[in-house]
Amino acid sequence: MTTGRRVLVIGGLALATLGMLYGLHYAVFVEHQTLDRMGGSLAQAFLNAAGRNLPGAHQAIEAYASTKYDYVRQVDIHSHWIGLAMLLIILGAVFDQVALSPQAKTWIATSLVAGSFFFPLGVILQTISHGAEWASGLAIVGSATVTIALGAVVWGFARSGA
Amino acid sequence: MSTHVVSTNLTETFVPMSARRLLIFGGIALIAGGMLFGDIFAIFVLHQNGGQTGQALLAASEAVSAGNALAVKEAFQRIGGLLEDHGTKVDTHVHMTDAGYLALLLALIQPYVALPPRRKKLLAGLFIAGGLLLPVGIFLIHYIGLAYSPFSAIGWASVLADSAGAVLILVLIAEGYGFWLFLRGNDSGREPELPADRTWERRVLLSGGTLLILVGFLYGAWYAAVDLYRHEARETQILTNMLDSSAGGQGGAVVAVANYGSLAAERAVKIAAHSHLIEFGLLAMLLSFVQPYVGLSDRWKRRWVVMLLLGSVILPVFVLLEMNFGLVAGGIADVGGLLVIIALAGMLVGVLRYSGSLDLGDASS
């Protein structure tokens, strides 16, 4: 088994396990509470408005938006880690058909694994500080790395006539 | 590191009741089942659920106008139930399909898992069982709720789903351990790797799948850069306007609720297009490995391949067009999903035919 394939399969299995562990932890300890908080804030906003307390209603809407901002990203990290892990394992199985030098393939495999880890990590880090540029930057760099590396794989397939 | 064997005899890679065979059968069945569920959900539940949620939100706005806190609470109880109904059904579809993908992936890496055949078969059985029970548990969450549950927020259906999820994780860890043993040179349970054939079906599925994934990535990046933050800001603005106009007795709640529904629809179709492009790309790549086991004529194998890729393009494109052409585009998207399901079923029949002829051959010899 070549180094590139090994990196992709090990990286994929590790990322799938990590994504599932995160999903299990999230489902058991976080999700229900987050959904309750989100629904509670929105209901509270309407109740405040019904009581003609508009500043309170606006505050509750802000709380709802903030919780939903976190919720969307927390769910995204689970699905993106597992989805990218599946892609890594599949590419590991067909990597011999990529017509590029072994060194280039090792770099591509490493980039795919690194990008697949850091892109969702950047997304979840946005919840620590909403709109944090460093977290968005990490997500952008991670996703760009995966996309460019996948483009290189497509090019390698095209060269081999696969 | 252990060496692996590339088989020149396809039958050696598809031994009766082997882990690989179980994972391939179970994987395709889970994917087809998950997609069928998704199509049924899209046709019979999705739009109706959205309409009812909009009505409940309008009722809440009217209750705000009337200053009726009790009616607001009732409306939100309804909204909570509708959102749970919608969310658990989407999750059922996603988790069943993804468990099927993972089963096919595990079938692919079996030659590199250095564990005894009986243990591999046990792991495969556990994975398929977990992959089935996880979506079943998720589906039941809305119907069972907290009945007879000793926990404050988690019901028995959630316990079933979480336990099934834990089984999947344990199987993955065990498969990872087997892979680690393989890398350390352990030859236990060694089985031949699939021959690297370059048939038309395999090449088209591989290149088509990779292209679909790349397009899905680029569209996802576009969505994150252009739409994500704009949608989040718009939602807050619409809700604020809805409450201000309702509390001020100015009317306009109907327009605000319509805007909210339109935003939710726009967000849903864009995310669905992104995720379906990538999932169908993965599916096409995975099915390229199964092609040697599809016991059909080349003509029929190609028909299923073309149908699968056609459906994989039609569904996300027409899901996106729903914003402009409404239910007509939605109907065409559903037909796209149906094409993928039919192609999958056709391939599954081919695999069954192949394994049947193989077993009959074994029995006669």
The domain ranges of chain B are 7-195, 197-360
- Judge contact between B341 and B36, C-beta under 8 A: yes
Q: Mark yes or no for CB contact A147/B282 under 8 Å.
A: no
Look at residues B306, B309, B290 and name the one whose alpha carbon lies nearest to residue B349. Answer: B290
Burial of B199: CB neighbours in 10 Å, binned 0-12, 13-18, 19+: middle
Distance CA B21, CA B193 (A): 14
- Scanning the structure block, which residue is given the tokens 């999230």? A26
Nearest CA to CA, how far is B321 from chain A (Å)? 24
pLDDT in tens, A10-68: 999 899 889 989 988 988 888 888 988 998 999 999 999 999 999 999 999 999 999 99
Confidence of residue B2 (pLDDT cuts 50, 70, 90): very low
User: Are the beta carbons of B279 and A146 separated by less than 8 Å?
Assistant: no
Q: How many CB atoms are located within 10 Å of the residue B290 CB?
A: 23
What is the full DSSP assignment across A27-76? IIIIHHHHHHHHHHHHHHHHHHHHTT-HHHHHHHHHHHHHHHHHHHHHHH
pLDDT > 90: what percent of chain B? 57
Q: Residue B243 corresponds to which tokens in the numbers above?
A: 């409450």
Residue B312 has pLDDT above 60, yes or no: yes
The two structure tokens encoding residue B236: 């807050």
Q: What is the pLDDT of residues A121-136, one digit of tens each?
A: 999 999 988 878 899 9
Token readout for B263 is 């935003």
Instruction: Determine whether the interchain pair B80/A39 forms a contact, defined as Cβ–Cβ distance below 8 Å.
Output: yes
pLDDT digits 0-9 by tens, B146-197: 888 888 778 899 999 999 999 998 998 999 899 889 888 877 666 777 666 7
Which amino acid appears at position B262 of this protein?
S
- Three-state secondary structure call for residue B193: strand
B185: exposed, middle or buried (Cβ count in 10 Å: 0-12, 13-18, 19+): exposed
Q: Could you tell me if A98 lies within 8 Å of chain B, comparing CB atoms?
A: no
On the question of pLDDT at B273 being above 90, the answer is: yes
Does residue B63 register a pLDDT over 70? yes
- Please judge whether A150 and B247 are an interchain contact, meaning their C-beta atoms are less than 8 angstroms apart: no
Domain residue extents for chain A: 3-29+76-160
Tokens linked to A51: 């009581």
Q: Give the pLDDT of residue B3.
A: 46
Partners of B193 in the beta sheet?
A: B6
Q: Mutating which of B172, B206, B234, B275 best tests the A interface, going by the most A Cβ atoms within 10 A? A: B172
B-contacting residues in A 130-159 (Cβ below 8 Å): 139, 143-144, 146-147, 150-151, 153-154, 157-158
* 3-state SS class at B6: strand
> For residue A161, is pLDDT > 70?
no
Judge contact between B16 and B355, C-beta under 8 A. Answer: yes
- Residues B151 and A138: their CA atoms lie apart, in Å, by 38
User: How distant, in Å, are the alpha carbons of A48, A85, A114, B19, B112 from that of B183?
Assistant: 62, 19, 21, 20, 8
E strand or H helix that includes residue B198: none
For helices B19-41 and B298-364, the axis angle rounded to 10 degrees is 140
3-state secondary structure of B147: coil
Buried b / exposed e over A76-91, threshold 16 CB at 10 Å, is bbbebbbbbbbbbbbb
Within 8 A of A21 by CB-CB distance, chain B residues are 169
Tally the C-alpha atoms within 13 A of residue A119's C-alpha that lie toward its C-beta: 28
Q: Which helix (H) or strand (E) holds B221?
A: helix B200-226
Q: Whole-model pTM?
A: 0.85
Please give the single-letter amino acid code of residue A16.
A
Cβ-based neighbours of B297, under 8 Å, separated by 6 or more: none
The whole-number average pLDDT for the span B83-106 is: 92
Residue B151's CB is within 10 A of a number of other CB atoms, namely 12
Q: Are the Cβ atoms of B240 and A9 closer than 8 angstroms?
A: no
Rounded to two decimals, the ipTM of the complex is 0.86
Which residue type sits at A72?
A: V
State how far residue A110 is from chain B, nearest Cα, in angstroms: 18
Contact B21, B364 (CB under 8 A): no
Is B64–A154 a contact, with Cβ atoms under 8 angstroms apart? no
Residues of B within 8 A of A32 (CB-CB) are 153-154, 158
